[in-house]
Amino acid sequence: MSERPLPPPVELPVAEHTGHGRLSTQLVRFVLTGGLSAVVDFGLLNLLMLAGLGHTPAKALSFVAGTTTAYLINRRWTFRAEPSRRRFAAVVVLYAATFAVQVGLFSLLYAGLPALGLGEAAVRVVAFVVAQGVATALNFVVQRAVIFRLR
């Protein structure tokens, strides 16, 4: 029995906006998408740390899962954009930068916050929320101003 190769995946078309879309609509969708992606990120972070993985590699892996979720939803729903090689390359550069910001800031806070008398669970939550907030703000500004204007 010979195996036939699988056909390439088919993606449903997106009605790409030639305009930029309303800021308020995009911001609400970005926040909702970010909330879901943060649940993926934080949930995986906790699972990996409970499994014994150190905080930095756990955060690195959870970041990848969360940002992949965010990119796919934001591209199709928030910014309503078709796939684009230029856009994807720009997203890779942006996510590399936000990876460094988020994982670096999380690690610094995770190491420094215990000096304030916070317990491990509180340190994890505060470090996650601050790092996530900074990365989210950076992501929205760059995606709206640059990435989803690329074709």
Crossing angle (nearest 10°) for helices 23-50 and 55-73: 150
Please count the structural domains in the chain.
Answer: 1
Average pLDDT score over residue span 50-69: 95
Q: Which of 42-51, 65-74, 134-143 has the highest mean pLDDT?
A: 42-51
Residue 58 lies in a domain: yes
For the cut 90, the answer to whether the pLDDT of residue 57 exceeds it is yes
Q: How far apart are CA 150 and CA 85, in angstroms?
A: 10
Model confidence, pTM: 0.70
Residue 57 lies in a domain: yes
In-domain check, residue 4: no
Please give the residue range of the domain that contains residue 80.
23-149
